[in-house]
């Protein structure tokens, strides 16, 4: 039987590569589209020889190439974006071009190819800093950064394409995703890879603000599972993808310090960054009810898997 063909934009990125790997494991033929502006071929190395993987290097703003790539595709998993709140604050035009124009191109190509469904990677940042917790999908969006604004714009385009053209779409609002393959060597890196890298190298983790801000950290394998469940269901609309639990950055730093056996290290503190929210927590009831999503990894399990991969990678580098 011919394998179903799926497309992952941003498939050489952190989340996209983890999603690509699981789709291959599930027997799909996977087309990855990535211009490698933030992704890396290293993320695909472990399964690069799989005959069911096809890599195409171009920007999602290349509509002609996207149209070709979408032919005979059943599901599109749209992960490609310029990530990071700080990056968007420093360069809102690039964020707009990649995240809004790019998403529109993906939707047009999917519509014209008769794709069965598009699953769009949105973000919990669309809620802004409203004090009500947990965040529920019925809350009005309140984006505080160009990145957040670009993500809610993408959601609205998905909704519009479902209403106007009958293209089923699901927008997944990710809550602070972490795990293996997440970059730690950039000014825009997320907090967990930055903390792990600093602590494992005997350096103090840097916390922006007082560290009392809280986050709902979600392991990447749970996000991957949510994407596949959403694609293969009839659910459309916006869905929170988190764990329903939260931890402060102070507690997070101390947990990683303890797990890494580096008790002598203490965090250092810097000024709060523009666009950062104080507290974040997902209500995942809607995703549970609509497509059976549940977070299968608690924070310690996810952190341990991430630390183990960090250690294995560094052992491999030192042994070359």
> How much is the pLDDT for 130?
87
Q: Which member of 28, 75, 120, 147 is catalytic?
A: 147
Q: Which two tokens stand for residue 5?
A: 């063909």
Instruction: Write the CA distances from 48 to 24, 40, 72, integer angstroms.
Output: 11, 12, 22
> How much is the pLDDT for 319?
37
The domains of the chain are located at 5-177+220-244+277-296
Which tens digits make up the pLDDT trace of 243-267? 999 999 999 999 999 999 999 999 9
How many angstroms separate the CA atoms of 96 and 79, rounded? 15
At 301, the pLDDT band (50, 70, 90 cuts) reads: very high
Please state whether 202 falls in left (phi above 0), alpha (psi between -120 and 50) or beta: left
Indicate whether 320 pLDDT > 70: no
Indicate whether 146 pLDDT > 70: yes
To 5 degrees, how large is the angle CA 12–CA 81–CA 150? 170
Homologous superfamily (CATH) for 5-177+220-244+277-296: NAD(P)-binding Rossmann-like Domain (3.40.50.720)
Percent of the chain with pLDDT over 90: 88
Active site residue 269: no
Indicate whether 269 pLDDT > 50: yes
Which tens digits make up the pLDDT trace of 166-223? 999 999 999 999 999 998 877 667 899 999 999 999 999 999 999 999 999 999 999 9
User: What are the beta bridge partners of residue 239?
Assistant: 172
Indicate whether 111 pLDDT > 50: yes
């Amino acid at each position: 039987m011919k394998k179903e063909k799926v497309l992952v934009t941003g498939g050489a990125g952190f989340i996209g590569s983890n999603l690509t790997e699981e789709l291959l494991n599930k027997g799909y033929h996977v087309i990855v589209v990535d211009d490698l502006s933030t992704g890396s071929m290293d993320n695909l190395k472990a399964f690069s020889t799989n005959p069911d993987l096809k890599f195409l290097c171009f920007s999602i703003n290349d509509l002609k190439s996207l149209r070709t790539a979408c032919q005979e595709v059943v599901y599109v998993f749209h992960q490609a974006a310029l990530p990071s709140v700080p990056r968007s604050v420093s360069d809102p035009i690039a964020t707009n071009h990649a995240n809004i124009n790019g998403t529109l191109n993906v939707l047009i190509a999917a519509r014209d190819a008769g794709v069965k469904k598009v699953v769009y990677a949105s973000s919990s940042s669309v809620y802004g800093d409203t004090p009500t917790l947990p965040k529920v999908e019925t809350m009005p969006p309140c984006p505080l950064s160009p990145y957040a604004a670009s993500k809610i714009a993408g959601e609205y385009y998905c909704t519009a394409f479902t209403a106007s053209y009958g293209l089923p779409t699901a927008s997944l609002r990710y809550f602070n995703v972490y795990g293996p393959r997440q970059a730690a060597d950039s000014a825009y890196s997320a907090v967990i890879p930055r903390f792990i890298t600093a602590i494992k190298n005997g350096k103090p983790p840097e916390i922006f603000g007082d560290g009392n801000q809280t986050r709902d950290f979600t392991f990447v394998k749970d996000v991957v599972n949510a994407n596949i469940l959403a694609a293969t269901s009839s659910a459309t609309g916006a869905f929170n993808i988190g764990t329903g639990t939260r931890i402060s950055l102070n507690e997070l730093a101390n947990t990683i310090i303890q797990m890494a056996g580096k008790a002598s290290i203490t965090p250092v503190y810097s000024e709060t960054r523009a666009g950062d929210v104080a507290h974040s927590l997902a209500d995942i009831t809607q995703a549970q009810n609509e497509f059976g999503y549940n977070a299968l990894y608690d924070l310690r399990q996810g952190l341990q898997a991430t630390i183990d991969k960090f250690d294995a990678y560094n052992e491999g580098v030192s042994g070359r």
